[in-house]
Amino acid sequence: MTLALSLGDPAGIGPELAVAAWRAGAGPFVVIGSAAVLEAAGAPVVRVAHVDASAWPERLPVIDIPLPAPVVPGTPDPANAPAVIESIARGAALAQSGEASALVTAPISKKVLKDGGGFAHPGHTEFLAHLSGAPRPVMMLAGPDLRVVPVTIHIPLADVPEALTPQLLDETIRVTEAGLRRDFGLDRPRLAIAGLNPHAGEGGVMGRQEIEVIAPVLARLRAEGFDLTDPLPADTMFHAAARSRYDAAICMYHDQALIPLKTLSFDDGVNVTLGLPFVRTSPDHGTAFDIAGRGIARPDSLIAAIRLAQEMAERRG
């Protein structure tokens, strides 16, 4: 099974991590991006026209997408944004057609893509849903000791209460439960549900979203057979004993989910997009322009993303 790996922002740590993952034997994968940048990062590459890993592991196969502007590590150039967007789109097409068994995406800078390529999406998750026609993509962060799903994602915290609708919560739980069954092999996933407010609202004293929005959705889904907790205080959900009682935590906003995940699994957490017609994973970190090209970026998260993508693809057959 050969994966596709989109290179991400060429001025970030994506190229050096791709080379490090190849040297570590994580794969096989074909990189979608600039062959010249990978050569500069130290890889002996072979340019291929399609997903062809016949030269693996002696050489790193690349579907070459040349860049219009020179690459300086740590200094992103919006002129290269269209090529970065193309690499994601081509990787998604290869995964959706089945030519690649899955798509792994190296980090992008959303600001650079907006500035140089007119990127109209909040991030990878929404762009891949647009490309594939998936109605409700769900972002999961997965580590060895915790899986988390934020219901609302890249929006200001002040906008979360209005964005947290019964429909969004219902759809997020359904996609998560189905993904845990299909891609993680869980027969009856146990989901812990965080409250929005401190102390899960404490009976309405600190907020009523738990009573008026969250609990009614949970009651309906429980009647259908879902294994769900009541809304829980988020500050008591993530210690070891609590984590042993569920398979994934549904959180109401971005940082409520990502702070505990990155605290526990900063170096080996994986971003998984559930609800797509193909497998997609990514490292759980960004472009790290501040250390790009210095040879100190750790490839653990990308390697974990590659290996998890392989496992998920095998489960899908």
Domain boundaries, the chain: 1-134+277-317, 138-275
Residues in the chain: 317
Residue 116 CB contacts under 8 Å (≥ 6 apart), including other chains: 77, 78, 79, 80, 81, 82
Model pLDDT for residues 301-317, shown as the tens digit of each residue:
999 999 999 999 999 98
DSSP letter (8 states) at residue 210: I
- Cα–Cα distance for residue pair 299/284, rounded to 1 Å: 11
In CATH terms, the superfamily for domain 1-134+277-317 is Isopropylmalate Dehydrogenase (3.40.718.10)
- Cα–Cα distance for residue pair 240/51, rounded to 1 Å: 42
Quickly count: other Cβ atoms within 10 Å of residue 122's Cβ: 12
Q: How far is CA 239 from the centre of its chain?
A: 23
**How is residue 136 written in tokens?**
């409700």
- Contact yes or no for 113/84 (Cβ under 8 A): yes
- Cα–Cα distance for residue pair 148/55, rounded to 1 Å: 37
pLDDT for the residue 267: 87
pLDDT for the residue 259: 97
Smallest Cα–Cα separation from 282: which of 58, 40, 13, 11?
Answer: 13
- Cα–Cα distance for residue pair 240/78, rounded to 1 Å: 43
Cis peptide before 57 (omega within 30 of 0): yes
pLDDT for the residue 184: 96
Equal fold, 1-134+277-317 vs 138-275: yes
pLDDT for the residue 123: 84
**What top-level class would CATH report for the domain 138-275?**
alpha beta
pLDDT for the residue 154: 86
- Contact yes or no for 34/65 (Cβ under 8 A): yes
Report which residue type is found at 21: A
Model pLDDT for residues 73-126, shown as the tens digit of each residue:
999 999 999 999 999 999 999 999 999 999 999 999 999 999 997 888 888 888
Quickly count: other Cβ atoms within 10 Å of residue 106's Cβ: 28
- Which residue numbers in the chain have pLDDT < 50? none
Mean pLDDT of the chain: 96
